[in-house]
Amino acid sequence: MDSVHHIWCPLFSQEFQDLPDGAETTLTDTIWLPGNICAYQFRLDNGGNDEGFGPLTITLQLKDKYGQTLVTRKMETEAFGDSNATRTTDAFLETECVENVATTEIIKATEESNGHRVSLPLSVFNPQDYHPLLITVSGKNVN
């Protein structure tokens, strides 16, 4: 994987006014594990607004450059964001490695609140494209 996916998730519907304002979601790393398993590491950040998220279940699809779904999996997060100290959490999506992944798409998200699962509307997700800085070593050509 040579791309990083970044999604800003503002919650704006009156119906969801009791939910936190949003969570910035960034794919920060892809890790290969023995047995042909890939772990996609995501960082979620609610911006330090002291309105936390309960545990989230996020259904993601990994897609190729043509938009064809390669894998659909669920990713779980712990509760986060009820203070500046807990404003971020890392979550992992583990799946068998597949070739040609170009994008990550959130297709469903739910939050546990007061013992119940609350569906979050997909309209709350506003994708942003994020590119990390290129790392070079003095005197070496970049491949």
Q: Is residue 122 part of a domain?
A: yes
- CATH code for position 101: 2.60.40
Q: Is residue 20 part of a domain?
A: yes
CA distances 121 to 60, 78, 111, Å, are 14, 20, 11
**Residue 101: which of 12, 13, 3 has the closest Cα?**
3
Instruction: Work out the number of other CB atoms within 10 angstroms of the CB of residue 104.
Output: 22
CA distances 25 to 14, 21, 32, 47, 140, Å, are 22, 13, 21, 11, 33
Tokens coding 93: 């999506």
Identify the pLDDT of residue 60.
95
Q: 């304002």: which residue's tokens?
A: 21
Q: Is residue 136 part of a domain?
A: no
Rounded to two decimals, the pTM is 0.75
Q: Which domain holds residue 77?
A: 4-130
Q: Is residue 135 part of a domain?
A: no
Q: What angle do CA 97, 109, 130 make, to 5 degrees?
A: 60
Identify the pLDDT of residue 27.
80
| Count of domains forming the chain | 1
Identify the pLDDT of residue 48.
74
Identify the pLDDT of residue 2.
40
Between CA 56 and CA 59 the distance in angstroms is 10
pLDDT string in tens for the chain (143-residue length): 443 443 434 333 333 444 445 677 778 788 999 999 999 998 888 877 777 888 999 999 999 999 999 999 999 999 988 888 898 899 999 999 999 999 999 999 999 988 999 998 776 665 656 667 778 889 887 66
Q: Is residue 64 part of a domain?
A: yes
Q: Is residue 34 part of a domain?
A: yes
